[in-house]
Chains A and B, each alone.
Chain A
């Protein structure tokens, strides 16, 4: 690369990996978009048919259906997919937001590089010193990483629930087994988990999104700060060049 000599020294881990990933932002955005597209097709081809199959009969018939019947199977399918697909969608959105953060980080990096290239054309005695990399760069990288990690954790929790407790609970006859479950029984304990997890998992994924938006916010402050600083440095150089010091 022509400007290789102006590059900053390689940062320590984990920032080294993050900086290597930053130019890959189009792949992140594309991957996020693909996950959302997959979610749409799952909704169209799995969730909608499962709901259509379950609600095809009167309440009395579908609730009295035995384990292994098409009604119970449809009920299991719709609950299992509704457990992990929303988390999958938010992970896709998170990847896209991370892509935006990385794109902004790349812009900030290129602005710094171009600033150095321009400064190199100024004679050494008049050249302003190169400012240190702002601490906020590491901050926005960490915020984005934390945000996507939270969304990944939420997706994994969703998958674990969808593979374990959710089908274990719903794979029962509603009228014959689920409704008569007594306090202290396994089924009622499972019901407690199955009906309570959305109350903490959904806000947790929004917290992941909040970290990603914070990453974008901080990345923008880096760009604005760099543009401001470079303009000030150039203006200062011009002032000195026009009125040389006595």
Chain B
């Protein structure tokens, strides 16, 4: 799935949920959503996934193979679930960068990690996944959990991640995907288009953000499409693992 880019006379458009918006507006619209939900992001994740997001992230950490002394970049790191664990795994000789394009999310993540005593080997950077401000061949592992679907130009972001990875380094993309079971797909549709906005309204008085979440998940490339996008970007040995009947998939690629 590629973003729609029109001719040179009109501004290219891209999807924002089910709507098409000019590319220049998508980042601002996504930012609005995350500014709105940042304060209760963790609570909402727990409520909406029934705590499953912790197990999905746990599997991501298992497949990261991160070792002491490694350099790890966690893009769209949000409230720092993965970065906290990586900080512990890389130890004092390693380095973790928690990057997020959204200042509110980054602030919540930074405050939360510092409150838990996670410091010393971790850095917080506000950065755009499409134009990562890091040197070439720098990181042993790059992760992006539930962030790629919000990126305007996914191909550019994947190429940028490839650039900052060391040869042999791993990219892990944890993202909502397409359910593999027809029955599960129907239940999931009902859940995400009816229940999620309702909970958003009750907890945050913001149904629109969670309607966007459900729509953006449907617009995100499915497992095979994302795999071929990673291959096209230049990743080698790309594999994916479906979790919870394909509601979420973890893609892994190695920089050759």
A, B: real partners: no
